[in-house]
Amino acid sequence: MRKTTLITGGAGYIGSHTAVALINAGHRVLVLDNLCNSCRECIARLELLTHTRVDFINGDIGDSILLDKIFSRYDIDAVVHFASLKSVEESIRKPLDYYANNVAGTLNLCRAMARHKVFNLVFSSSATVYGDPAKTPIPEDIGTGKPVNPYGRTKLMIEELLTDLCYADPRWSVGLLRYFNPIGAHESGMIGEDPSGRPNNLLPCLTQVAIGRIPELTVYGCDYPTVDGTCVRDYIHVVDLAHGHLKALEVLHEKGGINAWNLGTGVGYSVLQIIQSFEDITGISIPYRFAPRRVGDIAKCWADPRKAGRELGWTAQRDLEQMIVDTWRWQSRNPLGYRSPCVIPSLMTVK
Ligand code: NAD
Ligand code: WQD
């Protein structure tokens, strides 16, 4: 039986792009997702995009019986673990849901992996584990800080859980991938970010203004100590992020223990710079108004990505223009996300 990579949360935004990268690199993948923030249409599009049948199980990482069946039935040699709730705002209202789903769910997954002797794990962590960093760019060895919301605390708790696990049992090999701000979409325009309900992140809000679904963009804060008073972030193309997982998987097969890697570009852009770039690239003007600072936002956050460069042989390849072009292609072709009819690029060019 061919070795399989289990992708939890593989019907979601980053997981689906990583599935494409892994399939294109020759991996056999199995997607496990409970579809709480995604839909089957994403899997259908993955199949169209990769010309492959994608094994998909609609299920929950909290379901031990299901996990035992999966690990018994497939020859899994690594898990890429995206499954998580991810809304900062919701985590403040429903902390128990976040600790149960993210922390207890990961614990359950690790127990099942150990039962079936699968010890390679790539975990979706976040720059949020640095809290409000003492300096930028942020290197991994600055140490973790104090995340300012329950979502961020679940990520830090999981990192600590996985670190303890690696110290206790040298068979484990774990990559903590600390993503900065993922944006963009696959260049085909067939898969992308499809937030349910009103989005909170900058790019989904901006593109929804551009398509007329939201009347204006609210810019939170204009008095930060930054280039123009608005917050600065390290935006990274989701396809670059996906390739980082591929590299991490390759390295983890040889390298044991716990390893943290920043996945960012090393370049920061302010909110106003993002709006200006979007307008310049698409020709669409974005009405916006300033509002008070959003609780929990930090002024500046961008990565020192050199450790990932040295140890994974990975650097982000796509610049801000590409991120915006691809985000806009996805959003304009799929104004209703995955509920929009699928446009297959290769068919469009056939006369
Ligand atoms: P997403 O919501 O699009 O994908 C997560 C997927 O996990 C969804 O498809 C959801 O249905 C599934 N899921 C959630 N709980 C599950 C469970 N208990 N069992 C099975 N499936 C479950 O989110 P995303 O943006 O693709 O994020 C992927 C990972 O990256 C998450 O762990 C997230 O915390 C982390 N992350 C995201 C960002 C970001 O800005 N998008 C930044 C840093 C880290
Ligand atoms: C970016 C900037 C906002 C929306 C969050 C999570 C983090 C990680 C990534 C998962 C900020 C401003 C936003 C809007 C705005 N997720 N903004 N108007 O806050 O850096 O990170 O997503 O791990 O944990 O906290 O990203 O896209 O929400 O905001 O002015 O309508 O855009 O204030 O300065 P953030 P974001």
The domain segmentation of the chain, as residue ranges, is 4-339
Q: What are phi and psi of 202, to 5 degrees?
A: -60, -55
Q: CB–CB of 183/13 below 8 Å?
A: no
Spell out the SS3 assignment of 221-271.
CCCCCCCCCCCEECEEEHHHHHHHHHHHHHHHCCCCEEEEEEECCCCCEEH
What residues contact residue 299 under an 8 Å CB cut-off, 6+ apart?
224, 225, 226, 231, 232
Say yes or no to pLDDT of 348 above 70.
no
Span 56-84, pLDDT tens digits = 999 999 999 999 999 999 999 999 999 99
Domain 4-339, what architecture? 3-Layer(aba) Sandwich (3.40)
pLDDT at 340: 87
Ligand 2: which of 176, 208, 231 to mutate, judged by most atoms within 8 Å of the beta carbon? 231
Nearest alpha carbon, ligand 1 atom 27: 14
Phi, psi of 258 (to 5 degrees): -100, 135
Centre of ligand 1 from the C-alpha of residue 127, in Å: 15
CA–CA distances in Å: residue 14 to residues 119, 122, 170, 238: 22, 13, 29, 6
**CA 88 to centroid of ligand 2, rounded, Å:** 9
Q: What is the pLDDT confidence band of residue 229, given thresholds at 50, 70 and 90? A: very high
321 exposure class (CB count in 10 Å sphere: 0-12, 13-18, 19+):
exposed
Any residues with Cβ below 6 Å from ligand 2, and which? 86, 88, 126, 128, 152, 181, 200-202, 205, 217-220, 231, 233, 271, 294, 297
d(CA 158, CA 162): 6
Indicate the top mutation candidate among 18, 37, 123 to test ligand 1's pocket, ranked by most ligand atoms within 8 A of CB: 37
Report which DSSP code applies to 295. T
Is the pTM here over 0.85, yes or no?
A: yes
Q: Cα separation of 146 and 2, whole Å? A: 42
* 172-188 pLDDT tens trace: 999 999 999 999 999 99
Give the number of whichever ligand sits closest to the CA of residue 43.
Answer: 1
pLDDT score, position 342: 86
Confidence of residue 349 (pLDDT cuts 50, 70, 90): very low
Residue of 38, 63, 86 with the most ligand 1 atoms within 8 Å of its CB, for mutation: 86
CA distances, 121 to each of 7, 131, 207 (Å): 10, 24, 34
Query: What residues flank ligand 1, with Cβ below 6 Å?
Result: 8-9, 11-15, 32-38, 60-62, 82-86, 101, 105, 124, 126, 179, 182
What percent of the chain clears pLDDT 90, i.e. is strictly above it? 94
Report the pLDDT value the prediction gives residue 351, as an integer from 0 to 100.
Answer: 29
- Residue found under tokens 């790539």: 122
> How confident is the prediction for the chain on average, in pLDDT?
96
Alpha carbon 136 to its chain's center = 21
pLDDT for 41 beyond 50: yes
Mean pLDDT for 327-332 is 96
Tokens of 126: 């976040």
With cut-offs at 50, 70 and 90, classify the pLDDT of residue 195.
confident
Mean pLDDT value of segment 305-319: 98
Residue 53 has pLDDT above 60, yes or no: yes
Residue 40 alpha carbon to ligand 1 centre in Å: 15
Compute the distance from residue 225 Cα to the ligand 1 centre, in Å. Answer: 31
CA of 201 to the centre of ligand 2 (A): 5
Out of 159-168, 189-198, 270-279, 307-316, least confident range: 189-198
Tell the residue nearest (CA) to atom 1 of ligand 2: 202
Provide mean pLDDT across the span 147-154.
97
